[in-house]
Amino acid sequence: MLPPFALEEPTSVHEASALLARYGETARLYAGGTELLLAMKEGLLRYERLINIKLIPELAGLALADGALHVGATTTHRGLERSAVVRAHFPALAEMAAHVANVRVREVGTLGGNLCFAEPHADPGTLLLVHDASVALAQQGGARTLALAQFFVGPFEVALADDEILTAIQVPALPAHTAAVYVKYGLLERPSVGVAVAVTALPNQVQAVRVAVGCVSPTPRRLWDVEGLLSSKEVPAVRATLDTAGALAGSAADAVTDLHGSAEYKAYLVGVLLRRAFEQAYQQAIGETPSDAARGRGTA
C-alpha cells in the first residue's frame, strides 16, 4: 500500500519546473518509480504530489550527433540495451544496461531517474564517468550542462536546484583505439562493487586509462591517481603495475562497510575487478574482442 498522493502530469519541462517551484519539497518528479515507489512504500519518503514526467516529449528519445550520444532522461535501461545505435557505438553502455537489476526494472526504470535518485549501489553512473558524460539540466529560467562527476554530491543527493530537471545525458564518443568495460560483483539484488575502465591502446602500448568505481563509496568516482599509474606505458609495465594500482584503487575508493560487505572486502574486490576490466578493455581496444579471437582461431 502506498500512502495517498496527488498526480500532476505536465507536458513540458517548463511546466514541470513550475510545479516543482510551486510545491517545493512536498512534490517529487516521478518517471519509472523503481526506486521512488519502493522508498514510499517503506515510508522512507513521503510526498503529497508526484509529477509524472513521462508525458514530456523533450525528455524522450535517443540520438547520435557528431559521434556523441544524447540520451533523453526518460529513456529506460531496456531502451538503451535494445537500441541498435547504442549497441553499435557504445557497446559497454548497452551491455551495462542489459545487466541492471532484472528485466522488469529495466523496462520501466529510466537512466535519468537512476542518476537523480543517486542510490550508491547502482551501475550506470560508474560507467558514464569513464565516458566523460555530462548531464543537461533545465529549469524555468534557463538551462546548463554539468559534468556527471559534479552532479553526484552524496548518497541520494545530486546537484539539482529545487526546480531543476535533468533533461538528458550527453555521452561523448570515446577517443580512437579506446574501449570501455564495466564489471561488477554482488550477491544481492544490487551490485556490491562496480568498476569501469576505458583503455586507449595500440598493441602493446597503453596510451591512457580511465578508471571509475561505484557502489563501494557514497558516490561513484573517477580515480585520477590510479589512471596516472597506468597510462602511457607498455603493456607488460601496465600489467606489472596493476597490483599496486588495484591496492591504490581499493583505498582510494573509500569503501564503506554495509550489508554488501566490509570495507576491506570491497576494497579488495575493487583491485580484482580493476585487473579484469583492464584486460577486457585492452583486448577490445586493440581489436581483439573475445569473439574476434574465437573467429581467428577457427580460420587459422
Q: Which residues bind another protein (CB under 8 A)?
A: 1-7, 33-34, 37-38, 41, 50, 78, 98, 101-105, 107-108, 189
Kindly state the cell numbers that stand for 24.
517545493
Query: CB of residue 147 vs another protein: minimum separation in angstroms?
Result: 31
Query: CB of residue 217 vs another protein: minimum separation in angstroms?
Result: 24
Distance, in Å, from the CA atom of 108 to the CA atom of 74, rounded to the nearest integer, reads 9
Distance, in Å, from the CA atom of 227 to the CA atom of 132, rounded to the nearest integer, reads 14
Query: CB of residue 150 vs another protein: minimum separation in angstroms?
Result: 30
User: Can you spell out the DSSP letters for 16-85?
Assistant: HHHHHHHHGGGEEEESS-TTHHHHHHTTS---SEEEE-TT-GGG--EEEETTEEEEETT-BHHHHHH-HH
Query: CB of residue 2 vs another protein: minimum separation in angstroms?
Result: 4
Nearer residue to another protein within complex by CB, 108 or 272: 108
Nearer residue to another protein within complex by CB, 2 or 147: 2
**Which spans in the chain are helix H?**
13-23, 36-41, 77-82, 84-89, 91-97, 103-108, 111-117, 124-130, 148-151, 224-230, 235-252, 263-285, 290-299
Nearer residue to another protein within complex by CB, 94 or 171: 94
Nearer residue to another protein within complex by CB, 76 or 170: 76
Nearer residue to another protein within complex by CB, 53 or 249: 53
Opening angle at CA 279, ends 122 and 68, nearest 5: 55
Query: CB of residue 84 vs another protein: minimum separation in angstroms?
Result: 14
Nearer residue to another protein within complex by CB, 100 or 129: 100
Query: CB of residue 245 vs another protein: minimum separation in angstroms?
Result: 31
The dihedral over CA atoms of 166, 167, 172, 173, expressed in degrees to the nearest 10, equals 130
